[in-house]
Structure formats: C-alpha cells, structure tokens
Amino acid sequence: MTDSLLIRGAEALLTGHRGAAARASGGTDIRVKDGLVAAIGTLVPEPGERVLDARGCVVYPGWVNTHHHLFQSLLKGIPGGIDLPLVPWLAAVPVKYRRHFDAEASLRLAARVGLVELALSGCSTVCDHQYHYWPGMPFDASEAVFDEAAKLGLRFVLARGGQTQARAMTDADAPPQVQPETLDGFLASVERDVHRWHQAGAMPLRRVVSAITTPNWSCAVEHLKPLAAEARRLGIHLHSHLSETYDYVRWARETHGCTPMQFVAEHGWVGPDVWYAHMVHLDDGDLAICAQTKTGIAHCPQSNARLGSGIARVPEALALGVPVGLAVDGAASNEAADMAAEAHMAWLVHRADPRAGALRGGQPGGHAAAVTAEDVVHIGTAGGARLMGLQGVGTLEVGMAADLAVYDLDQPRHFGLHDPAVGPVVGGGRPTLKLLLVQGRTVVENDAIPGLDMAELRADAAAFVRTML
C-alpha cells in the first residue's frame, strides 16, 4: 500500500451517493492510509505525510465500468459496420474479425489499449465480458486479461463469456475462433478461473463471473438452469446481454411467448447476483421483475445510441430501486472506452428522451431534470460496485477502499464553472486526471500512467490494424 497521503484543498468531493449525501460536507481534504479512506474534513498534514495539492480539482470515487469487451479495442470505426444495427453489426465486426485474435499477443494488446483508455478517464474497476474463447484455443485468455489489468493496478472483474451453441443469425460464415464450447467445457473453465483468480471480501482486486454471452442465443434453453446453479454453487455472480433491441424482444415473444426478461426469470437468471447489459427495451412488467428481484442493469448509453438500439428506461429504473451501473460496452460499438464521456452521454440522453416529460407529469418530450449529474456519478460508481457485489468499493467515505479520481479542472471547457463539482460530468471530454488511486495505490499521476510508453502502444496498435487491413 502507499504511505499516508493527504489530498488537500479540493474544490468539491462527490461521494457516489444520491440525494443530500451526494456531496461531502465539513471539509474537502481526504486522508488515505493502508488503502482506505481514513478521514475526510479539514485536515492538518501529519509528520512525513505526502501531501497532494488539490486546489482547482474535484474528487470522485473511481468510475466502475460494469460491462466491456476489451478485445474489441482494436476494432474501432470499421467502415463495414459503422452504420449497421446490432445483428448485422455483430456479423460484420466482432464475429468476422475474431479470427485476427488467434494469438495471446493480440488479445493482450487489445486489452492494454482498452484498460489504458479507461484508467486515463478515471476508471478504477473494470468488468470485461470476455467471450473470446473457443475449443482448443492455444492460449489462456483469462490469464492474459487478468495479467494486463494487474500490470496497470486496476481492480478487475472477468465476466467469463462464451457460447455453447452457434448463433444462426450471426455465425453462418464464422471463423474457427467463434466455434462453441460444450456445456461441460464452459462450466469447467469457469470453475478453473474461480479457483485461480476469484477473491472474496468487500474489496477484492479480482473477481470471476459466469457470463454466457446471450441467454437466448448463445446456449440451449436447457443449459440455463445448470449454468445458474453452478455459478451459485461457486458463490459467483451471473452476467449477460439482454433486451438490447426491439427485434430481440419481438424474436423472444415469437419464439418463447414472453419477453426476454420473463424468459430468464423462468430459468433462474434473476436476483441480486445477476446483472445484464443494455436492457433498452423493458416493458413495465420487466421493470417490475427487476425491482422485485434486484436484478441489475449495466447502462451503455453511447453504444445503444451508436447502434440505434434506443434509450434505456434508466430514470424509471432508478425510481423503482433497480440496481443500475454505467458501462462503455466494447469499443467496436462505441469507438471509445472513456467513462467520463459515457457519464456525459448518460447525463444528456435521458433529458432528450421523448418519454421524459410525460414521466414527470408534463407534456411528451424531453425533461431537463430527468437525470442529474449526481445521479450519473452514483450509477457510475456506487451503483456499479453494488451490481457486482463490491460492497467496500464505489463511494468516497471513511472506511471504504481508496479508489479515487482527482480531476484538475484546468481545461477551457471548465473555465467559468459556477459549480466545479459537476464539471467532469457536464463539461464533456476527458478532464485532466491529476491522480487515480486504486486501493490507495497510484495508477495515474499527472495525466500519465507511470512506466507506460504511450508512443509504443500507439505504434503497436497501428501495426496490428494494418495486419487486419
């Protein structure tokens, strides 16, 4: 752990809580000791204590990214997929290009690019929905991504994805790297990863989640209950994609006679140990299931907009007490992996939602208070941590993990701010990151990652893209 650190003189602290507790009161100095937030207030330096001058800065809990596909970090802006909706995009981009990730070095490079971008945006916890597995693959994908996260010092959750059956709508001409595993093979791999990597406790640096890629398409119906039962036997969470597009919901109704949410509820895939990415097309009954069971949502506003999938009903979900976190999704459907940009989008998109005004008792159309900046910080920090069972992470308060992002509001977009606390959310663009701590350890300092050769990383990424072209 680091020695005692005093972050002194910040303009404001946002805690990750909602309502009156969203902003720290009684002083804006933070003492970090033994990886924890030890004190908050108006503090005096202790002998030998390192002091960080945070004047002109605001401090947030580190962002918690609840859904990503790190291997897609080298698949940004592919012309053949840039204007496609979800299903044809899946076939044209991630399925088609997975053949290029047939060696460990390529997966590691993609993971490194994504993790570096996330860290520089102030993200301290990353959940990678890693589904790039196939029978007989010549390297250990789980070890590769855990190792890359550990080198940077990030808190990392592996959502071990994959499929146990081919998907007719996307996999017709799939390369060998898209071939399904057997159910027994998938379960054995998840258990092996749990024994190697999974940590218990409130502040684990490593977690494993069972995460079949899509419960409706990526496995047989009879596989769902065994998958859920095995995860619960191992004491781990469940994660997947669900209800991302209108076509998805229509297909489920035609095939199963119910919504995707009703379908997974019938097969044991709901509860406080389950969260799904996207959840754009939920009806009132679906939201009620989420609220009653505490099944969570990883909200991906930029990817949902980029693919034309729609706007998730997040304000309503929050009002009902549904657990909600924030996520960037894969960079192949976002073209970025920046949690500050994702937060800005989440702040804006619900205000523009045509349903927002009616929900507030007014005329149909947008509503300027549909989601506040404090709401966005909550779902992007504490909300995400709770989705994944990280009880000691995600809020800025005494006794919690010292996962902190110190943003310097030194760019013109922040000049003239009357309320500096909301600057990183409302300003748009990535703020200067003066310091990022994970469990008290320095990950980013003065907007740079110590020891990282950014020019070399850029050159390596460009060289790999040239090989794909």
Which pLDDT value is given to residue 169? Answer: 64
Is pTM beyond 0.95? Reply is: yes
Nearest alpha carbon to residue 300 among 334, 271, 273, 272: 334
DSSP line for 1-50? ----EEEE--SEEB-S--GGGGB--S--EEEEETTEEEEEES--PPTT-E
Helix (H) or strand (E) holding 54: none
Nearest alpha carbon to residue 317 among 345, 272, 286: 286
Q: 326-384: per-residue pLDDT in tens?
A: 999 999 999 999 999 999 999 999 999 998 877 777 777 889 999 999 999 999 999 99
Q: 159-196: per-residue pLDDT in tens?
A: 999 999 987 666 667 788 889 999 999 999 999 999 99
CA distance between the termini of the chain:
44
Which pLDDT value is given to residue 356? Answer: 84
Say if CB 373 and CB 347 are below 8 A apart: yes
Instruction: Please state the φ and ψ torsions of residue 27, each to the nearest 5 degrees.
Output: 130, 155
Question: Rounded distance, CA 394 to CA 385, Å?
Answer: 6
Residues in the chain with pLDDT values less than 50: 1-2
* Domain annotation for the chain: domains and CATH numbers: 5-61+393-445 (2.30.40.10), 63-387 (3.20.20.140)
Q: What tokens does 113 get?
A: 């690019």
